Copies of this chain bind each other. A is one copy, B any other.
């Protein structure tokens, strides 16, 4: 089994590394980081660089595709090479997945039309515009399409997919090895739980709100 994780400039690192840390531990699976061209890609903060070991041309039929999000997603929406690769690999993939605004790329590739899906909470309206049926669930499975909410949700998605593919026992073992017993010091991790004023402030300054303005 081959797992391909997409990189592009200004991706959000945890979007990619959350599912990687879980799924790369699938028995008999190989994981590869892939981009339009092989080479280094800089994350959204400008501080972190990860390397794509293979180009899209070299990875033609991965079993699992993982698409992260991040500010760089906007630019990729009109880059046909990524969208073409997503459509091509989707023809044979067992699972096509995304974290955060990676779902907008699946949507732009036409893969989520009429499907239940999720994305970063600030991007749910965008996802609807691309023909999906957005939900605010943290992980959404619709057929072979698995989408996760913002950034950190990729860990939950990875564990859920791992359990489906390799069994609950294996998934529990990986959860214990990565000691995933989350204890956030605050309870502000979703717009339903965070202070309303904070939600409004972030919404007002979001790139999606800005882009939607005339």
Contacts and interface: CB of A to CB of B under 8 A. Distances in A.
B198 A185 contact: no
Given A12-B21, A48-B33, A53-B49, A153 B179 contact: yes
Contact of A14 (B21, B30, B151, B186): B21
A34 to B, nearest CB: 11
Given A155-B182, A182-B152, A185-B159, A20 B40 contact: no
A187 to B, nearest CB: 8
A194 interface: yes
Interface string A23-37: 011000011110000
B30 A21 contact: no
Interface stretch (A86-94, A105-113, A126-134, A167-175): A167-175
B189 A181 contact: yes
B186 A171 contact: yes
B21 A47 contact: no
Contacts of A156: 182-185
A179 B18 contact: no
A113 to B, nearest CB: 24
A180 B151 contact: yes
6 closest A-B pairs by CB: A150-B179, A181-B189, A182-B182, A172-B188, A49-B51, A151-B178
27 contacts: A13-B17, A13-B20, A14-B20, A20-B48, A21-B151, A24-B47, A30-B47, A31-B47, A40-B51, A48-B50, A49-B50, A121-B179, A138-B179, A138-B181, A139-B185, A149-B179, A150-B177, A150-B179, A156-B183, A168-B186, A171-B185, A172-B194, A172-B198, A173-B188, A173-B198, A180-B189, A181-B189
